[in-house]
Structure 1
Amino acid sequence: MTLVGAGPGDPELLTVKAVRAIESADVILFDALVSDAVLELAPRHAELICVGKRGGRPSCRQDDINRLMLEHASAGKHVVRLKSGDPAIFGRAGEEMSYLASAGVDAQIVPGITAGSAMAAAFGISLTHRDHAKSVRFVTGHSKNGGLPEAIDWQAIADPSTTTVFYMGAPFAGEIAARLMAIGMSGDTPVGIASALSRSNEKIVRCKLAELSDALDGFDRREPLILGIGQVYSRVFAAPLIRNDAYAMIG
């Protein structure tokens, strides 16, 4: 049993170990955000089962995913649980590994490129640029109950020397911006927005924190969106940003 990180979508960003796991799989339980290009690496005999979860849409329950993993692994099949991005970052890898261990199933994790790193590459920046950031935070923008999590350390995120990447936070982008500005974060703080990272329809935009809600209007909300906040988004380091940016450069 292998939990594999499929990365942001481009199959060329998979690790060699991930490709080998996919190519040798008998059963692949894949997330909704895994790209078709990655799934094309599966062998012809492999059974492909979508177990995706998408906000506001019918989704596979975690109990059902656990059952399927155990059922196929117990039958002696090589099962790959294929997750977009990195399984260990908001991918429920901890829950699934614990379940498999309790059932006596040996499993390993093959890491993948997480969306925060893929976004940094798309913008051509460093999340830990030593002139702009002393730390990086990956923060969930969506709680188990469906709203913005209440247990977030907003003061820490408002630290100007921190780079923060919000996963699944697009529906609450306006509230995120309002909370941060309410505790003193400047409305001029640079923000990066990205969707469909590493795919043919990739889009990235740079704006200011105060403009975040308006900036999102130009995105297809059916695509997965990720938000980055911090000074590292204030400079242009590579051409892709110029190609996609609809806003004036900051800073």
Structure 2
Amino acid sequence: DKVDKYTAEVTGDAASGFTVTNTHTPDTVSVKVTKVWADRDDVHQVRPDKVAIHLLANGEKTDKTLELNAGNEWTGSFDNLFVNEKGEPIEYSISEDPVTGYVTGEIEGNSADGFTVTNTVIEGSLVFMKVDENKKPVAGAVFEVVDKSGKRVAEATSDSQGQVRVDRLGFGEYRVREVSAPDGYEKTDWNKQFTIDQQGQVVDMGVVVNKKIPTTPQPKRLSATGVDITMVVALVVVLTGLALVAFTIKKTH
């Protein structure tokens, strides 16, 4: 009779006798793994070509590693895994190597239903204030943010409160500089470097001061004789007034 979980192999013949060899066939399972990218379709272009998923048995790392990539649609499985070891059930789990530019992968699921590993892209913000020499807010100053390669990734303008804010900056090194000043102000040569390397990070650059463009006094207009026209007009007004007063007095008498 067939023995449960064993395969039988019969060798020999009637003359010399038969040998029946029973080989144990252990139960096996497969553990499915799916990678999910929460990065708005790789908006910052930092998604790697591949990731490495490691299999753990009862919390201990094994020698089994699964490579997920675009070619296998970021899905794979660990196959032919023993269900038991020395009569005890084996609990399988997974881990992932760190992925640059992303938060540590969030692992959900179990060995029976499969695991999902979600990686969320790291994003942060840049903030600073734009004021004049009297510490009053300056609106309308334009700034640009460039990445390490010099590519422009964002542009921002100071608002009515003088605030400049740039959100959703991906992992990496950046520079920010002023590209134009509002009317009546000098453009600064302010140019600063900063880094985004943590999720939700807010880099505060403090305060940037714009100087007002000095106003040039209008020169006094002179007559052909070189006399200040303003003085001439004032003198005419005074003389006219005196004449009217004299005329009024004369008419009265």
Same-fold status (TM-score > 0.5): no
TM-score of the two chains, using structure 1 as the length reference: 0.26
Of Structure 1 and Structure 2, the greater strand share is in 2
Structure number, greater radius of gyration = 2
TM-score of the two chains, using structure 2 as the length reference: 0.26
